Amino acid sequence: MPDMAFRTSVDLTANTAGIVTPNPFWLASAPPTNSGGQIMRAFDAGWGGAVWKTLGTPIQNVSSRFGAMHVKGTRAVGFNNIELITDRPLETNFREIYEVKRRYPKHGVIVSLMVETREEWREIIKRAIDAGADGLELNFGCPHGMCERGMGSAVGQEPALNERITGWAREFSTVPVLVKLTPNVDDIVPHGLAAQRGGAHGVSLINTIKSLIAVDIDRFVPEPRVGGLSTNGGYCGAAVKPIALHMVASLAREPGFKLPISGIGGISNWRDAVEFMLLGCSSVQVCTEVMLRGYRVVEDMIEGLTEYMKRHGFSRLEEFRGKAVPAFSEWGDLDLNYETVAKIDANKCIGCFACVAACHDGAHQCIHPPSEPPPAGKTRVPIVDESECVGCNLCQIVCPVPDCISMVPVDNGFQPATWNEFTSEGKPLRPKKGAH
């Protein structure tokens, strides 16, 4: 990277559908944005914006509400909740919104809303704007509790309802309107387009995924347990990031979709945030990581994003937003003649043979123990049979030593050819490997 890159002056100002914030890091609508006091502490910590916990007719929540999936010693890789929208009086919420905006005029306060009728939408939108909301987020995503009442994902799963209610919001609102999309659909694109037809200024995604997090195998009740019963909740946390990235990218590459995107789903650090921005997001929203670690996680996010931009010579977010979208394609467009093989660095290998086990039992049987014992004091390094290696990179994934195994491109003499080109034009394909 050129030396000039490190002298780049970085501006983190974000603009999502006309909502301008000091940086792209927003708190998602959830327990961390349940009150004005919380949001003011978050702004003091460095958050650029916050989406207020969803307002509507206040409800009664249950106890317990949260569950988590722990994987091999890593706690709360996935998170589940059955908490609903605000259970605090609307008057209290609106009073606090006003106070937050009075004290933090340069920060973004976006108010999440969920009601039923056209008149209820008219009233609550007016009250939110009168309180000082910089923007609105229509919650069409909640997969539990509210959907049974004809709201949340019950709206988000029906493009016609999405479009109609979005149209009401645009009619009543004088500030930008974002539509929060549910991931509980087969294809996100029709739902993003429905929001666009309804007049939304932007979309946010993903909301939580309908789920059961666990089962108590002694009490015979799913978690979280409310007395002797449980129900499905909303799945979130680091584990949902791949699903969120796919849905964001699917919308971002859709030629007919033109709206800004606020990305949500498993964002735990600055690298996650950059990935969402490279796929087209102008802001990112965080919830679970804050619930697990507190508001100050944003400090590392801001520092990491700043250094990333300096390293690559970016001065503004727009210079790299969407930069990875053109590389997201369909399987039929991938080059079938592109070939890699695994290379093991003997100086880094610790002889654990994790790659051997994975290759033999889970892949294509091309990595083997050495036939001869190593010289005295040397590590037994597995051998890669390159004639059989298909370049699947499972060995690289299971290897515990960073950069010990590399996937090295091979010049096989074949010109690029995709499946589509093979079937339509008869372009030649390289011989198969590993197909015993």
Predicted local distance difference test score (pLDDT) of residue 241: 96
Is 142 an annotated catalytic residue?
yes
- Strand ranges (DSSP E) for 170-319? 177-180, 202-205, 209-211, 214-216, 221-223, 233-236, 261-264, 281-286
- Segment 252-277, tens digit of pLDDT: 999 999 999 999 999 999 999 999 99
382 vs 308, 341, 362, CA distance in Å?
36, 14, 16
331-425 classified as CATH 3.30.70.20: yes
Residue spans of the chain under pLDDT 70: 1-8, 142-154, 156, 434-436
Q: What is the pLDDT at residue 145?
A: 45
How many other CB atoms sit within 10 Å of the CB of residue 7? 9
Q: Where are the domains of the chain?
A: 3-326, 331-425
Q: Which amino acid is at 131?
A: A
Q: Is the dihedral of CA 296, 297, 300, 306 positive or negative?
A: negative
Q: In this predicted structure, what is the pLDDT of residue 147?
A: 54
**Domain 3-326 annotated CATH 3.20.20.70:** yes
From 142, 281, 366, 392, the catalytic residue: 142
Quick one: pLDDT at residue 3? 47
22, two tokens: 């000091």
pLDDT at 81: 85
Residue 143, pLDDT score: 63
